[in-house]
Amino acid sequence: MKWPLVSRARYEAAAGEAAYAGEQLVGTCIVNDCLTDANLAVARRLTRALRACARYRAALAAERHRADRLQERLDDALGLNTPAVAAGAMWRDRRTDKKGHQ
């Protein structure tokens, strides 16, 4: 037998290998499709979580700003933002009756 001719045994062996490779390709495609679907689902969940996080952070910033404003108003109403109060903030450091406190 010369080059273009193939024995039946070699042909059947090659055909079996081709069939096995085809089955492997189909199996790989199925797994790839499943993983792609799972990745898309995770990406959608992550996107929703990131959007929710952004909303929560914005709400937190707004609430902090509101609380700071209310604290300023309370300090103004109680007179806690006067220079005398600021000067007395460190009174412990200036105590004359300290004994051994350094």
Checking if the pLDDT of 96 tops 80, the result is no
Give CA separation, 3 vs 7, 28, 41, 54, in Å.
Answer: 10, 34, 53, 70
Residue range 26-50: mean pLDDT, rounded: 96
> Does residue 64 sit within a domain?
yes
> Does residue 28 sit within a domain?
yes
Q: Which domain holds residue 17?
A: 8-94
pLDDT at 14: 81
| Cα distance from N-terminal residue to C-terminal residue, the chain | 105
**Percent of the chain's residues with pLDDT above 70:** 91
> Does residue 1 sit within a domain?
no
Checking if the pLDDT of 97 tops 80, the result is no
Q: How many structural domains compose the chain?
A: 1
pLDDT tens-digit readout, 48-88: 999 999 999 999 999 999 999 999 999 999 988 888 888 77
> Does residue 99 sit within a domain?
no
> Does residue 81 sit within a domain?
yes
> Does residue 102 sit within a domain?
no
pLDDT at 66: 98
> Does residue 2 sit within a domain?
no
> Does residue 50 sit within a domain?
yes
